[in-house]
Amino acid sequence: MRSRTPWRSRMCAVAMAAAVVATGPVLGAAGASAAPRAAALVPAADREVHFTADGTTAYGTVHIPAHRAGRRLAAALLIPGSGPTDRNGDEPPGFTPHTLPLLADALGEDGVMSLRFDKYGTGRTGLGGRHSAPDMAAYTRQAVAAYDTLRAQPEADPHALLVVGHSEGGLQALLVDRAVAAKPAGLALLAPQSMRLLDMIDFQLAAGLDRAVAAGQLDVAQAEFNKRGLTRAIADFRAGRPVDTARLLPSLAAVLNGMFGPVNADFVRSDDALSPPSVARSIAPGTRTLVTCGTQDAKVPCRTVPALVSALAGAGATGPGLRVLPGLDHLLHPAGTPDNDPVIAPAARRALHAFVRPWRQAPAN
């Protein structure tokens, strides 16, 4: 909105103009117009925040890139992948790829602030008194509370809110979009969960059996027997029948028993009830979207994402859309990079930069 000059200032300006007309040009520095002064530079900073969902306090970090004082910034909520994954995208001490701070840095290069948080079961947040994993709806309520917290930050532009989700966080980004009244302007789904959870697990474990055959660790008959047993176990779990994993390979049985046991069963059922393409059809037309898949991603291969991409297009999404990332794995690493190396490949960074182009601000200096 155009600022209005107070009446007293306008009157002074008229008097000054009359004096100049009467006496000719005013010479010297006293008569020169002062050059506009640039707003002060606010240096980049991280700020700790907390918020409450379902009576549990969650903790997070807001990353604010360097910017000029008074400038509102596009703001992205970062959502990690599955499991006990904290605000950094880590499961310490053994798994520390540091994915989310790296995404925050990449966004910060374009002047986009971000919020990442310790979801239930991780970091300072913990389980909030629970003894089992919350269901998917509870995770969504927590993420919505984080989104509202980001929107309320004094630097955030409430008209330029984004949600960036990695892996399972991609599905969660779609659920946040569906739940909030103030819709995000953009969704970035990085190597996202693109199928029902147990369909994806079936796909992943069957592919692992095929790799074991190719490596000479299993024969074809063993692999096929275990594939059939895997499919049967999933069908039994979905139908509420007892699941028998006794005849499966021990490694396969351990995965299924962990998912279907009392600690995780409620969450698994609630996630498996969701079809990511179906959720994607609810986004508002004009929402800018990015979907990435790495050609070396064994967890979410590119051939699993077309239905999700088609659903987004059918809903009227705009933006970069699908970006295939040659040679990248599920952690946005170049294939062969150790999991714990804190790196995001240049191709993934370029995709993210393309996504935020409408909200990009030149680096402050």
- Report pLDDT for 36: 60
Q: Are 143 and 178 in contact (CB under 8 A)?
A: no
CA distance 91 to 121: 10
CATH 3.40.50.1820 correct for 41-196+276-359: yes
SS3 316: coil
Q: Calculate mean pLDDT across residues 163-169.
A: 97
For the chain, what is the mean pLDDT? Answer: 89
CA distance 66 to 94: 33
Segment among 1-5, 68-72, 127-131, 338-342 with least mean pLDDT: 1-5
Greater confidence, 15 or 31? 31
The amino acid at residue 17 is A
CA distance 299 to 205: 9
Residue span(s) of the chain under CATH 3.40.50.1820 come to 41-196+276-359
- Report pLDDT for 361: 83
Q: Are 287 and 185 in contact (CB under 8 A)?
A: yes
**In sequence order, which residues have a C-beta less than 8 Å from that of residue 331 and are 6 or more positions away?**
97, 99, 337, 339
List, in sequence order, every residue forming a beta bridge with 64; answer none if it has no partner.
Answer: 45
Q: In 240-345, which residue ranges form alpha helices assigned H by DSSP?
A: 250-260, 265-272, 276-280, 306-314
Share of residues in the chain with pLDDT > 70 (%): 88
Residue 214, pLDDT > 50, answer yes
- Report pLDDT for 126: 86
CA distance 116 to 114: 7
> How does residue 20 score in pLDDT terms, banded at 50, 70 and 90?
very low
Residue 203, pLDDT > 90, answer yes
- Rounded to the nearest 5 degrees, what angle is found at the Cα of 96, between the Cα atoms of 50 and 262? 75
CA distance 63 to 155: 11
pLDDT by residue (tens digit) across 29-57? 444 445 567 789 999 999 999 999 999 99
- Report pLDDT for 344: 96
- Report pLDDT for 216: 96
pLDDT by residue (tens digit) across 87-110? 999 999 999 999 999 999 999 999
Q: Which of 138, 112, 109, 136 is nearest to 125 (CA)?
A: 138
Question: How is the chain split among helix, strand and coil, in percent rounded to 5?
Answer: 40, 20, 40
Greater confidence, 126 or 343? 343
- Report pLDDT for 292: 98
Type and span of the H or E element at 59: strand 56-64
Q: Calculate mean pLDDT across residues 165-175.
A: 98
Q: Calculate mean pLDDT across residues 272-300.
A: 97
DSSP-assigned letter for residue 294? E
pLDDT by residue (tens digit) across 120-138? 999 999 887 777 778 999 9
> How does residue 182 score in pLDDT terms, banded at 50, 70 and 90?
very high
Residue 9, pLDDT > 50, answer no
Q: Look at the pTM and tell me if it is higher than 0.95.
A: no
Q: Calculate mean pLDDT across residues 356-365.
A: 81
